[in-house]
A and B are shown apart, each in its own frame.
Chain A
Amino acid sequence: MEVEKVIETRGLRKTFRDFWRRPTVEAVKGLDFSVRQGEVFGMLGPNGSGKSTTLKMLLGLLHPTKGEIRVLGAAPSDTRVKARIGYLPEVSHLHPFLTPRETLMYYASLFGMAHGEAVRRTAELLSMVDLTQAADRAVGRFSKGMARRVGLAQALVNAPELLILDEPTSGLDPIGCREVKDLVCLLAKSGVTVLMTSHLLSDVEDVCDRVAILDRGALRAEGKIADLLRKPEAVRFLIEGLSSEAVAALRSEIEERAGCRVQLDYPAMSLESFFLQVVAQDGRLRTFEMAPFLRATQGTREGEGGACSKL
């Protein structure tokens, strides 16, 4: 069965121009890609590769020089489409004089939400991002991490079908990164399509089903992470509790039978996992509790597995 494409671009091109309308930078060069419904799609690339420009074009903030964009079946400038999208920019750009509660109420009002509904969602989102205690302090006095949580909450205020996250873990500590990744996975399981960019490979690897790698505005690779990373010619055994004698015997046996060289390595825990394990002992590690309205509105895709199953 053909899966519905939530985002589709054809020959997408963006050229920035100077005052005289001469081209200065070709940020995106003929990009073709699509994001399917319910998947977590990662956009990878070094700084200046055109990731953020592409996102901004998908959101209608920048106008493409050439090419076609369909988001949820319509042009990005269509306000009906915007009502179904959530967006977290790389820097949260919140109004510094507003409190998180006022911020969320404001963005809820932009969706034409009734006051009672907006109040309920605001309270649920504040609780979800653990800002209930700081709900009435001005955002301008928040740390970057706290502001990021407010940014994340505003992106979810409309229970979006499509969530676009630009460097969602930027500026967050390892705990914050983990929480955001957990949330992305939870949302994905609820049926939300997620498109995220990052230059942190581990983030993408942890949560994304498919990735596109961009470099200097062009698409270099696209596909499922497992497919892209698979080395079909190599096999790895992970065995616990073998003595050194048994290891040596196994190695010589395999080398003798298969006629190939065997490499031995002793896997270690990643620093991130170790850090989170230490912090978890203090009880500081928590998982976002999905806001009830988000649970209620989205479908689920339990049991599909994907990258999130690794977390």
Chain B
Amino acid sequence: MFKAVTESARRIWGVTVLAVRASLRTKGVTALLVLLAVCVGVLPNVVKGDGTPEGELHILLAYTLGFAFGILCLATLWAACALFAAEIDSERMSLSAVKPVRAAEFWVGKWFALLLLNAALLLAVYAGVYAQVLWRMHRKGWEEADRPASRRVTRPELPTPREEARQTLELMRQKNLTPKGLAEKAILRTLEERAQDKYDVINPGEQVRWQFRLLRPLREGAPVTVRVTFDTEYSTREHVKGVCRLGCRERPGKTVEVALDDFTRNALEFVVDTRAFSQGSGGRGQESGGAGGALQNFELTFAHAGDPKKASALMVRFRQDVALLTPGGSFEANLARAACVHWGVLALLAAFGLTLSACFSLPVAAFVATVLLVLTLVGNSVAEVISEEDASLWQNRVGIWVSRGVHEASLRAMQAAPLTALTRGERIEGGVLGASLAWNGLLLPLCFAAAGCWVLRRREMADAG
């Protein structure tokens, strides 16, 4: 048994080494390296930012990493499409196929080769970007607040959109208000979308309150960042006044109040030192806070202090736009987690390309892979902008059906958005990372592997003559 496993491992390793050698000794990889080097080295210096550290970070983390990742995605997909197809087309496979190697060993060997290459290339790209971040921080002497961070995100304590949709549907049923001719699934989806986008309207003089419960209690003295994004009526960017109050339920009676009078950026973010909750209370907070003075429950109040006659009302999509950010590890660890998420996506693309490669010739496999990739991206974009009015038109039904199908199918694969998290300084949670790796790097590749091996076993590896 052990001998069989060792021999199988040797065969897989042999296939991996060959594929890595093949990649490294072709001009394609050299071109790819040059392209990535240009992307990482030149792009951040060519694209003009707004001059702020935040802008520079955005260019480095969103544009540079995004562009490099896009290049790697296409390269991985096309390389994977070539790995079997080119060998079969050139009949080189006929030499390997007569050796005692199982289809699964071929598949896994080639997949590992792509994983190794991608790991090396991703490491180089991320290291390049990180070096640039460090260099800019050193050269321009960024303030502590401007430095890239990794923070846990806590949203207000509310029922999930799905729960709320179910509750609303139940209410509608009780009042006999369910729309006729629509399936329950369709109604629920619409209600869920509405719940997700639901907003509070805050008129001048009014205030709203949100409760937060941190997943991990916060030690006293750690900073809490409040982030609120909002829109004004008719999306005008006018000067609006307001007051934000953050209180901690473990330290009752003491709140931190921040007066805000520049809402022209439609987003506000401020840091609160949690020591402020204990000041003047003589350590009372610690007693009531329990375990080592940990803080876990917060309350945020937002009061619109504008002129009731002139100022516009504010609209806040409370499920998306309000958050408390607390320290959550180092930026470097977050960067590594983002790289892992990207690695998982590349592993999925490699698996997808390999299976197509086992089925078709190189041009057809590459074409089909690219079309499906584009369809996934377009489908997801379209699915996000479909309005109820669009959905009601019969001529849009095919488009909506396809878009939603693609969106549903790729939802889990695209759930983690590492670049958004990095640029917003949000920690990529272990659960999200684990789910992304398990889904993209294991489960879906397993399905593709099963399909690819099934085809490989049945496919004739030689032609007539």
Binding site for B on A (CB under 8 A): 16, 25, 27, 52-53, 56, 59-63, 77, 79-80, 82-83, 85, 87, 89, 91-95, 97-98, 102, 105-114, 154, 158
Contact = CB atoms under 8 A, between A and B. Distances in A.
Given A52-B465, A56-B462, A112 B11 contact: yes
A79 B460 contact: no
A211 B218 CA distance: 86
Nearest to A108: B14
B17 A112 contact: no
Interface in B50-98: 90-92, 94-98
Interface stretch (B19-27, B130-138, B376-384): B19-27
Contacts of A154: 95
Interface of B: 6-8, 10-11, 13-15, 17-18, 21-22, 25-26, 90-92, 94-102, 457, 460-462, 464-465
A111 B100 contact: yes
B98 A109 contact: no
Given A79-B102, A82-B99, A87-B98, A62 B21 contact: no
Given A95-B92, A112-B10, A158-B99, 7 more contacts: A61-B97, A79-B102, A87-B98, A97-B21, A109-B11, A110-B96, A113-B10
Contact of A59 (B6, B17, B98): B98
Contact of B22 (A77, A85, A97, A105): A97
Contact of B101 (A63, A79, A80, A95): A79
Contacts of B8: 112
Given A109-B13, A112-B7, A93 B465 contact: no
Given A25-B464, A52-B465, A61-B462, A110 B22 contact: no
Contact of A60 (B10, B95, B97): B97
* Listed residue (B22, B26, B457) with the most chain A CB atoms within 10 angstroms of its CB: B22
B21 A111 contact: no
A188 B88 CA distance: 32
Contact of A85 (B13, B96, B98, B462): B98
A61 B101 contact: no
A108 B464 CA distance: 28
A60 B459 CA distance: 10
A75 to B, nearest CB: 13
A114 B13 CA distance: 12
* Listed residue (B7, B13, B15, B95) with the most chain A CB atoms within 10 angstroms of its CB: B95
B90 to A, nearest CB: 7
